[in-house]
Copies of this chain bind each other. A is one copy, B any other.
Amino acid sequence: MATQRILDFLATRRPDGPCLVVDLDVVRDNFHAFEKALPDSKIFYAVKANPAPEVLRLLAQLGSSFDTASVAEVEMALDAGATPDRISFGNTIKKERDVQRAFALGIRLFAVDCVEEVEKIARVAPGSRVFCRVLTDGAGAEWPLSRKFGCVPAMAVDVLRHAKALGLDAHGVSFHVGSQQCDLRAWDRALGDAKMVFSTLEKEGIVLKMVNMGGGFPTRYLKDVPVAQAYGQAIFSALRKHFGNEIPETIIEPGRGMVGNAGVIKSEVVLISKKADNDNVRWVYLDIGKFGGLAETMDEAIRYPIATPRDGDEVAPCVLAGPTCDSADVLYEKTPYPLPLSLTIGDEVLIEGTGAYTTTYSAVAFNGFEPLRAYVI
């Protein structure tokens, strides 16, 4: 999955220490694939997935809008050239003074999932559009979203009614099917819930206009996943089924799907050892781990493909761990990772599909190790 440009960069520049290299050509291709798959949806790139200025500038030029999680991310999107009308403040958990700062920066679109959040927005961002996030069950996702965000659809009706009563624009409904969602029916179920909220409020004269279908579009890790096109078709069918001829405006918020497969982390094998002479599993220690950018290996949720210079040689299972003095800094242990028996201390390995949710997750200085460096080419 490492592109020739990434391989050439690493061969020429030979950066010392672990680093992420992101190929903008892949990001561009992904953007166009989403446009083609869902031509009627507006793309709001989830900035949190990878806020590198080069990535944001490219996407702003391509016409993308931006889903942001904080005032700092709003500012990054503005700095990259996005106008405020192309920015959504998509975090349902906001300090009132941050809503106020975003409003001052021109932001008029906010996510909510309770009346308490609606009241903050009504106070300091009057007249803004709000969309209410509904809970989905997240079944089928590799990184399920739990109940942290959203409310049940019946409560979303109350939340949006309250927004309208406080002078806000009750704009729509959002959901998130869970990151790396491979079950296309998840969108169908969630769109059914969204339609229920639309219908109930319509009877009261409140006409919603937008469905924010969130992210969850998978990037290619070890398993093959349906491609963007298949997602587009499934989603369009579900929209037709539930909304008939009155399909609302739709938004999608790809993050991992936009940048995940655009990046590769170069790492080095620091140590290979056993714990006892009769151990049948080797421990392989890399110079990057859970606290250096690979936080999504938590609970071994995401299994990155790893390329080594010895690929093709006979493999055997390894426990894969990071370089810190923290026993939790183990990447794959429950399901050991097969790696070549000939792998040697000092070998460079490529951890693929790491363009999303790596650099910014990285610890600021744990064990004295620097945060993950990134090169965007």
By the criterion CB–CB under 8 Å, are A116 and B327 in contact? no
**A11 at interface, CB cutoff 8 A:** no
Among A22-30, A63-71, A234-242, the stretch that binds chain B is: A63-71
| Residues on the B chain within 8 Å of A368, using CB | 47-48, 51, 68-73, 76
How many copies of this chain?
A: 2
Q: Out of B93, B154, B330, B360, name the residue touching A366 (CB < 8 Å).
A: B360
The interface of chain A, by Cβ under 8 A from chain B, is: 46-48, 51, 68-73, 76, 90-96, 113-114, 116-117, 135, 143-152, 154-155, 158, 268, 270-277, 283, 285, 287, 291, 295, 298, 321, 323-330, 333, 345-346, 359-371
By the criterion CB–CB under 8 Å, are B271 and A117 in contact? yes
By the criterion CB–CB under 8 Å, are B364 and A364 in contact? yes
A122: min CB distance to chain B, Å: 14
Q: For chain A, what secondary structure do more than half of its interface residues adopt (helix, strand, loop), or is it mixed?
A: loop
Q: Out of B71, B96, B330, name the residue touching A146 (CB < 8 Å).
A: B330
| Residues on the B chain within 8 Å of A330, using CB | 146, 148
By the criterion CB–CB under 8 Å, are B272 and A116 in contact? yes
Instruction: Please report the C-alpha to C-alpha distance between residue A345 and residue B95 in the assembled complex, in whole angstroms.
Output: 9
Instruction: Please report the C-alpha to C-alpha distance between residue A271 and residue B274 in the assembled complex, in whole angstroms.
Output: 48
| Residues on the B chain within 8 Å of A151, using CB | 273-276
Instruction: Please report the C-alpha to C-alpha distance between residue A71 and residue B95 in the assembled complex, in whole angstroms.
Output: 39
Instruction: Please report the C-alpha to C-alpha distance between residue A154 and residue B275 in the assembled complex, in whole angstroms.
Output: 10
A94: min CB distance to chain B, Å: 7
A253: min CB distance to chain B, Å: 10
By the criterion CB–CB under 8 Å, are B327 and A146 in contact? yes
Q: Out of B73, B155, B270, B275, name the residue touching A150 (CB < 8 Å).
A: B275
Instruction: Please report the C-alpha to C-alpha distance between residue A277 and residue B151 in the assembled complex, in whole angstroms.
Output: 9
A-B contact pairs, 9 of them (CB 8 A): A48-B368, A70-B367, A73-B367, A93-B270, A155-B274, A298-B328, A361-B363, A362-B363, A362-B364
A157: min CB distance to chain B, Å: 11
A46, A327, A360, A361 interface centre (most CB from chain B within 10 Å): A327
6 further A-B contacts with Cβ under 8 Å, apart from A76-B368, A117-B273, A154-B276, are A73-B367, A94-B271, A147-B283, A149-B325, A151-B274, A151-B275
Instruction: Please report the C-alpha to C-alpha distance between residue A344 and residue B100 in the assembled complex, in whole angstroms.
Output: 19
By the criterion CB–CB under 8 Å, are B48 and A366 in contact? yes
